Amino acid sequence: MVEQLVQAKLSITRACQIAGLSRAAYYKRPTPASERDAPVIDALNAIVTRHGRWGFWKCFTRLRLDGRCWNKKRVHRVYCDMGLNLPRRSKKRLLERPRQPLDLVTEPNRCWALDFMHDALYCGRRFRTLNVIDEANRECLTIEVGMSIPSARLIRVLSRLIDCYGPPDAICLDNGPEMISDAFTEWAAAKRISIRYIQPGKPNQNAFIERFNRTYRTEVLDAHLFANLEQIQAITERWLVDYNKYHPHESLGGLPPARFMPRLTLASIVYPPMST
């Protein structure tokens, strides 16, 4: 402001009076922070170059041991301005869920189990798979492959399965963001499907799908290099036919899932004609 008043042909004294600034402050221009704090910046850079994971207090203690008696507030301000402050570790807040017993279902379509898996294409791009099985006979109902599978796509996949097999009584799953979303929980409530959330960090409460994931990982994901999603889906669909119809399952007495406990689809049910 004083500079503008001086350019308007006012004296420096009069311009300082109008702006409420002393002449001493006008003549003594402020030094840029980069020049004023240059020694502190150089000293901190020397420390973090050798010890990149040191926090503020270790760096400040090292400066004091080296005879640099700068004020801790000044050092901390420069430390933060340089972006050296490390993110604070915070404890992840886990949801409280009741313990889910691993019950043995004796009829198909009583309880489905689903889970997500992660892998990468040959180019390094990540993808996900949504695996859904029936806990009664361990039959895999579908494996959906995609770069992203949000809650809306999860609902579409389960709706397609319900159109084919009918709605299950319950679904066993973990606490992923897609599975605890309002859209999914409202959809399940509308379908009258019970949701059985396992306790966080307790995958053994969803052991059937976890065991299936290991088989799928060993025989498909780890056995091939994939170029695109279409290749993954094609290989997976061929493998699913073999797994459900020909793959001997030890816990099923050496029988494949489809032979151990066959299931009916809604399309195969023949309804009697309606009486007039």
Dihedral sign computed on CA atoms, order 225, 228, 229, 233: negative
Long-range contacts of 63-69 (CB under 8 A, 24+ apart): 68/39, 68/40, 68/43
Q: Which tens digit of pLDDT belongs to each residue from 12-51?
A: 888 888 888 888 877 877 778 788 899 999 999 999 999 8
Q: Which tens digit of pLDDT belongs to each residue from 80-89?
A: 999 888 777 7
Q: Which tens digit of pLDDT belongs to each residue from 225-253?
A: 999 999 999 999 999 999 999 988 888 88
The DSSP 8-state label assigned to residue 249 in this structure reads B
The Cα–Cα gap between 237 and 241 comes to: 7
Residue 237 near residue 82, CB atoms below 8 Å: no
Fold exhibited by the domain 111-265: Nucleotidyltransferase; domain 5 (3.30.420)
Burial (CB count within 10 angstroms: exposed 0-12, middle 13-18, buried 19+), residue 177: exposed
Residue 256 near residue 240, CB atoms below 8 Å: no
Residue 181 has a pLDDT of 92
Range(s) for CATH 3.30.420.10 in the chain? 111-265
What does the mean pLDDT of the chain come to? 87
Mean pLDDT, residues 159-164: 94
State the amino acid at position 30 in one-letter form: P
Question: What is the radius of gyration, based on Cα positions, of the chain?
Answer: 33
